[in-house]
Every structure is written in C-alpha cells, then in structure tokens.
Amino acid sequence: MKKAFILFFFSISVNLMAQTMNIFDKQNTENFAAYLQNTGQFAFAAEEFERLHFFDPLNTLYAKQFLKNYRLAQLTDKGIARYKYLTDSLKMDESIKKEYYRLLVEQQKYTTVYSDIINFKPFDSKENMEWELAMLMLNKNYSEAITFAQNNQYNSNSFEILIQDYQQLQQKNIVMAATFSAIIPGTGKIYAGKWKEGIFSFLFVGASAFQAYRGFSKNGAHSLYGWLFSGIGISFYAGNVFGAIDATNSYNHELYEKYHLKVTTSYSSLLWQ
C-alpha cells in the first residue's frame, strides 16, 4: 500500500512538472506574447518577446516585436537602449531598423534618424530618400526638403501637395501690425485676426484719450484728471503696439503648427506601415 502511494505521488509530480515545463516552452510563450500584444498589454508583451529573444538571440521576429511593444507601451527609452545591445546583423535588418527609427521619431529625434540613414543606408535608394525627406519635413526644415527633392528628382503627389500648401502659407508681417496699431490703436490686432482684442484696444485707448482731453480742456495743463488719463492712455497705447506684435507672432505660429500637423499626418503611412 505504501509503495503504491509513493508510485502514485511520483507519477503525479512528474505529470505536473511536465505540464509546468510545457507552459514555458517556445510555442506557448509565443502564443502568450501575441495574446498580450493583441489585448494591449504591450509592456508585458515586450517582456515575453525579450524572454524568447534571450534563448534565440538571432531571431529577427522576436527582436522586432519587443522593440515594437516597447514603443506601443511608450517605453521608448527602454526600447532604444535595448536596440543598442542587439547584434550588428540584427541592427541592420530592415524591419528592426524601422522599429528603431520609430522609437526615435516618438521622441522627435528626427536629426538622429536622418544622420543614421545617411551613414548606414539601411534601405533601398528610394526608401532611404523617402525617410530622409520625411525627417527634414518633420524637423520643419521645409526649404531644405524642397531643395533635397529637386536635387534628387523626387516626385510624389503627396509631397507636391505639401509643398504647394507650404508655398501658399500667408504669414502676417510684424512691422505692418505694429505700424497699424501705432497709427490706429487696435488695427494691428485686427490685422492678426484678433478682432475682439483689437476693438477693445481701440475703444479703451480712445476713451482714455477722450477723458484726458476733457480734463485738460476743463482745468488746463495742471489737470490731475487729465494727466491721470494721459498716463493710462499712453500705457495702453504702448501695450496695444506690443500686443499687436504678440498677436502676429501667435498667428504665424498657429499657421505653421497647422501646416506641420498636415506634414505629420501625411508621413504617418510611411513611418508606421
């Protein structure tokens, strides 16, 4: 009886150990990592693909997947650091290189990507050119990008549209805005698209000037009332001129930010495909 119990216990233990080992075999780990990725648990998925990569360090798919999942988990620093420890052959693999570039793009390190492409030429000539152009555009080097495309005879409908939009950008002139407001308070802000602020400036400066005029008309040059509103009027008049400059800078900034959003959207298909 005792011997039978020992044999039964031993068989159960062996079976449990076999099942436990089966849980951690390659195929199950792959399935589990894929499950974590598909359910949005990217940080855990990256760890599972890292585990697979540890036992198979030359496997391209595992390296690509843990870099991708670090990016999706917004652990870009960790992904970039892990890329540096890959073998040279894996670093130059096209799919892994793209994941590395995407991590850098997430951190807006466009110059780093641009330099790496120039130094290593990881893709075919057309794709290298597309990535170089994308980094110039994303880094807001629009004029340089146009020159680059012309020198390399690069043709693309989407790029042509972006360039046409760029050339049609109508920014406001700061000197004109300041001049307008100096001549007629508030008109510089109106020129910059700030209608409410412009009208308020015109009315306030005008009202202050009128009150100062009334004070001096009534009591002469010694009118405290006149000098008080003169000071208020002059302060707001100067503020109105500087406000017009700020409004114009703000207008131009928003103009280019909206354009840059178009650039980012246009290149999303190249970067994330």
pLDDT, one tens digit per residue, over 231-264 is 555 566 667 678 788 888 888 899 989 988 888 8
Inside any domain, residue 71: yes
**Residue 268 CB neighbour total at 10 angstroms:** 11
Cα separation, 164 vs 204, whole angstroms? 42
Q: Are the CB atoms for 193 and 248 separated by under 8 Å?
A: no
Whether residue 80 sits in one domain with residue 125: no
Inside any domain, residue 141: yes
Inside any domain, residue 2: no
Out of 4-13, 22-31, 156-165, 217-226, least confident range: 4-13
For the entire predicted model, the pTM comes to 0.75
Q: Are the CB atoms for 26 and 11 separated by under 8 Å?
A: no
pLDDT, one tens digit per residue, over 180-227 is 777 777 787 787 888 777 776 766 565 665 555 555 656 665 555 444
Cα separation, 123 vs 95, whole angstroms? 10
Q: List the domain range (segments joined by +) for residue 202.
A: 174-263
Cα separation, 148 vs 136, whole angstroms? 9
Q: Where does a domain end: 66, 83, 107?
A: 107
Q: Residue 79 burial (CB < 10 Å; 0-12/13-18/19+)? A: buried
Tracing tokens 């999706």 back to the chain, one arrives at 72
pLDDT, one tens digit per residue, over 123-132 is 999 899 999 9
Cα separation, 185 vs 197, whole angstroms? 11
pLDDT, one tens digit per residue, over 44-53 is 999 999 999 9
Please count the structural domains in the chain. 3
> 153: left (phi > 0), else alpha (psi -120 to 50), else beta?
left
| Mean pLDDT, residues 34-43 taken together | 94
pLDDT, one tens digit per residue, over 130-150 is 999 999 999 999 999 999 999
Cα separation, 240 vs 252, whole angstroms? 18
Whether residue 131 sits in one domain with residue 88: no
Inside any domain, residue 270: no
